[in-house]
Structure 1
């Protein structure tokens, strides 16, 4: 890489339009590193908030400023700017925690950059600062999480948001081997939540209306029920010895699935809402008060939780790339987004030629 080298980057135009544009490779400033991108996942929030709307909003946490897209970056350090801790060296493999916080507020000091409320200091990669759908990305060294061997770069891109989100939900629910866990919505986040709950020793049931996603979950060994069945509540009761699940996690964002979580959960159960968007209406007394349910909202894990997750995945020998169904190049970004938007896929990732080749060889 030399001064003046150009790179490609993907910009989301709204209205389901994608552009691949040319940029100069940036030079890291103080506290920054330049990463050679190896994998960058697509996320449902990109579809909902940027890709589908004709005019994506430009303000707030989900405001898109026309930057290079992709908030699930994973790569290797190619260059290091001044004032970066010596713990980071060239060729280190890293995941980028996708929110850069102000670093000064109470939430940032606890590692919860996602909850930073600074109007000027909080920026999300792929939303307000350049993201990972490119050949290179500038990242603040404070946002890096070390990618341990033998996890792959595609594993890292799944960890960067989707699996990190699922992990936060399992932590909120305090899942143990004593639990029976229902996960509604078997997209990438739901698959991750189910796989993590199983590793914690819980019995897991999935719920999904889409037959393609149901099949994908079953292929991963997750017992998955048809959410459109008129007898689904009776089936869940039968599979949980008449008690219902002790934990229910909704990853779909759909009102019906959220209501099902509340209805089938046993007394004193924990219910976690993870799926974005939509609403739900329910009768509070019989479903929540009289059953003594605890309802949690869960967004994204903290950076320290992400570090813990990486360590656990290595110990568990759980490789998140198993939820990935398709890998594309930067030039194929339009095709990647169209496929992901169709719902006929698992996790979709944009990757470097070498990482794509490795994934195809291992997956086929």
Structure 2
């Protein structure tokens, strides 16, 4: 089979590698869609900066896979050949407290391995996965919908659940990349009547408006946001990973409001007394989603008839993976996907 490797320095290698065989508790998934995440660009594609959970181990890339099960190993009970599945992109030990809560993302065992980082991921023809890492894809959703949920949409949904978004509340989203687009779309589906987005890129602001992900998209200076939000939004979510935007989100959270920090990276300097304590804000750090929340989101997306693939602006074949990464790295488009027929 073919697999995409990311050696750093903005290089992409397409290699021929052996087809995987399922062992006990494992399945082989035929890949149908695998999208590119900002963390892939930041910590693998550009240069290998990661340590710990972000340490790339020269494996097939792609941690947002979705496909159809082709073969199952001994002891597999829940999943059958032919099932359509989303792959939860971290395979945890299954025994630590975080895993038992469904948060394999925070697994504390040295056996923790993320698909596309420490074990082979979805930029390939086939993927070897643990049965416990698979979430059924509802019939009403496409494989590309599932790939978008595997990380980005699930991350956005977890953040909105953490801040307990209620119907009728205004939402401010800082950073209108794919996760920001997902946050805006989900906030509307969950009952927010007014979603404001900020981003320095005019292309991303235009895309957010065209997709209906936000009601208004602006560059994000304080004057603009005060005119739009007055005393601030009840809920704010930073999806940029940039310190200036993180501070914007906090400063424009209404008194007693809630803010979720989702975007990876950035250094935040904040006057704690003025911005946080005196305004009595609740701030959440939110890192991906547990498996049960991902399953809940997939069910609700089918019920809402909301298709995450709307945020995908560019689709490439596996042979064109290098071009796919170039487009994603330029930062002017929506989600970029590698798809198979």
Task: Report deviation, 1:96.
Answer: 0.2
What SS class does the counterpart of residue 171 from structure 1 fall into? helix
Task: Report deviation, 1:89.
Answer: 1.3
Aligned runs of 1:185-334 on 2, under 5 Å?
Answer: 185-202=175-192, 203-221=194-212, 222-227=214-219, 232-240=221-229, 242-334=230-322
- Aligned 8 A contact 2:209 2:217 in 1: no
Task: Report deviation, 1:279.
Answer: 0.7
1:106 aligns with 2:97: yes
Corresponding residue number in structure 2 for 1:4? none
What SS class does the counterpart of residue 155 from structure 2 fall into? helix
Task: Name the CA distance, whole Å, in 1 between partners of 2:248 and 2:158.
Answer: 21
Task: Report deviation, 1:51.
Answer: 0.6
1:136 aligns with 2:130: no
Corresponding residue number in structure 1 for 2:65? 73
- Residue by residue, what CA displacement relative to the aligned partner does 1:312-347 show, whole Å, maximum 9, x if unpaired? 101111000000000111110100001100112110
Corresponding residue number in structure 1 for 2:109? 118
Task: Name the CA distance, whole Å, in 1 between partners of 2:39 and 2:228.
Answer: 33
- Aligned 8 A contact 1:14 1:56 in 2: no
Structure 2, gaps ≥5 residues long: none
- Aligned 8 A contact 1:108 1:116 in 2: yes
What SS class does the counterpart of residue 266 from structure 1 fall into? strand
Task: Name the CA distance, whole Å, in 1 between partners of 2:172 and 2:183.
Answer: 10
Task: Report deviation, 1:128.
Answer: 0.5
CA RMSD of aligned residues (A): 1.1
- Aligned 8 A contact 1:80 1:89 in 2: yes
1:46 aligns with 2:34: no
1:13 aligns with 2:7: yes
- Residue by residue, what CA displacement relative to the aligned partner does 1:235-270 show, whole Å, maximum 9, x if unpaired? 323323x22101110000111111111212111010
- Aligned 8 A contact 1:33 1:78 in 2: yes
Task: Name the CA distance, whole Å, in 2 between partners of 1:342 and 1:208.
Answer: 15
Task: Name the CA distance, whole Å, in 2 between partners of 1:350 and 1:136.
Answer: 13
Task: Name the CA distance, whole Å, in 2 between partners of 1:56 and 1:112.
Answer: 24
Task: Name the CA distance, whole Å, in 2 between partners of 1:216 and 1:178.
Answer: 25
Task: Name the CA distance, whole Å, in 2 between partners of 1:47 and 1:8.
Answer: 21
Task: Name the CA distance, whole Å, in 1 between partners of 2:49 and 2:235.
Answer: 35
Task: Name the CA distance, whole Å, in 2 between partners of 1:225 and 1:196.
Answer: 16
Corresponding residue number in structure 2 for 1:91? 82
- Aligned 8 A contact 1:248 1:271 in 2: yes
1:155 aligns with 2:145: yes
What SS class does the counterpart of residue 161 from structure 1 fall into? helix
Corresponding residue number in structure 2 for 1:166? 156
TM-score, structure 2 as length reference: 0.97
- Aligned 8 A contact 2:208 2:217 in 1: no
Corresponding residue number in structure 2 for 1:60? 52
Task: Report deviation, 1:56.
Answer: 4.5
Structure 1, gaps ≥5 residues long: 1-6, 355-364
